[in-house]
Amino acid sequence: MNNLTVIKIGGNVIDNPNALNRFLTDFAKLLGDTILIHGGGKIATQVAEKLGVQTTMVDGRRITDQAMLDVVTMVYGGLVNKQIVAKLQALDINAIGLTGADANIILAQKRPVKDIDYGFVGDIIEVDSGRLQSFLHQELTPVIAPLTHDGAGNMLNTNADTMASAVAVDMSRHKAVTLVYCFEKKGVLSDPTNDDSVIRELTPALYTEYKTAGTINKGMIPKLDNAFNALRNGVERVVICHADEVAMALQEGAGTTLRVAANQPES
C-alpha cells in the first residue's frame, strides 16, 4: 500500500507570508503523495471588515450568515487557495485548488440548530476518496479549502481540522495515511506559556488527564478530538507540529505524535 501524507496548515502561518512561504518550500520537498488542506480565518475577518460584514465568533467558531458565507467563499476558495496553488506551481508542484464542491469531493449537510445557530456551517457526510485518488494518479497535488457543499447548490463553511481528519480517514482505504496538523506552535504543550514544553507522545489516557487539569483547553480540544478520531478509524499516524518542522516531525524528531496506545518496550 502506497503512503500518503495529509497535511492541514492553519493558525497564524496562513496570515504570515514569510512563514507560509517557508512551509510551502518544505512541503514541496516531501516524498510520496500529499494532500494539503488549509484554513484562513483571520484573512476572512479582515476582508469582512473592509466589506462592512460583521464577524461573530462563539467559542472560536465563526457564525456564518449569508453575507459571511459570501466572504469565506471568496477568501478561502479564491484568494487563499489560489495563492497557495500558485506558490506551489512555482516550486514545481502541480497543485490543483479545490473546495468540497469541486468534483463533488466532500459532501456535507448544514449543521442542525441546537443551542447555537452557526448558520451555513457544514458537517461532513461523505468524502469521495476515489476522486482524490484519481487526482493523485494524475500526479496532481490537491489543495483543499475549508468549504464543502450540500448537493443542493449551497456552499458551506467547514472546519479545516475536521476536513483533514475526514479526508485522511477516507483515504486510508487506499493508502497508508499519516495526518499532520501544522501551525505556529511546536506541538501540544504541557505549559502553554513555554513553547518548548512539547508533549512528545500523547495517548487518549494522557489527553484526558491534561484536559482534566486544564493544561489542554480551548481550540486544541477539537483539534485533538479530530486527531484521535482519525487514528481510531484507519489513519496510521497523527502528528501535531510547528509548520517549520514538518519534515522533522514526520521522522518523529519534532512535534507531538499521537497514539491510540502507548508504545510498549521491546522484549
To the question of whether residue 32 is assigned a binding role by annotation, the answer is no
Strand order through the sheet with 141-144: 95-98, 141-144, 33-38, 3-9, 176-183, 237-242, 256-258, 201-202
The DSSP bridge pattern shows strands 122-127 and 106-110 to be: antiparallel
Residue 122: how many CB atoms within 10 A of its CB? 27
To the question of whether residue 40 is assigned a binding role by annotation, the answer is yes
The DSSP bridge pattern shows strands 95-98 and 176-183 to be: unpaired
User: Cα separation of 200 and 189, whole Å?
Assistant: 9
To the question of whether residue 233 is assigned a binding role by annotation, the answer is no
Amino acid identity for residue 151 in this structure: G
DSSP-derived secondary structure for 66-105: HHHHHHHHHIIIIIIHHHHHHHHHHTT--EEEE-TTGGG-
For residue 177 the three cell numbers come to 495515511
To the question of whether residue 41 is assigned a binding role by annotation, the answer is yes
For residue 17 the three cell numbers come to 507570508
| DSSP for residue 244 | G
Place of cell 489513519: 235
Residue ranges for the binding site?
Answer: 40-41, 62, 157
Residue ranges for the binding site for substrate?
Answer: 40-41, 62, 157
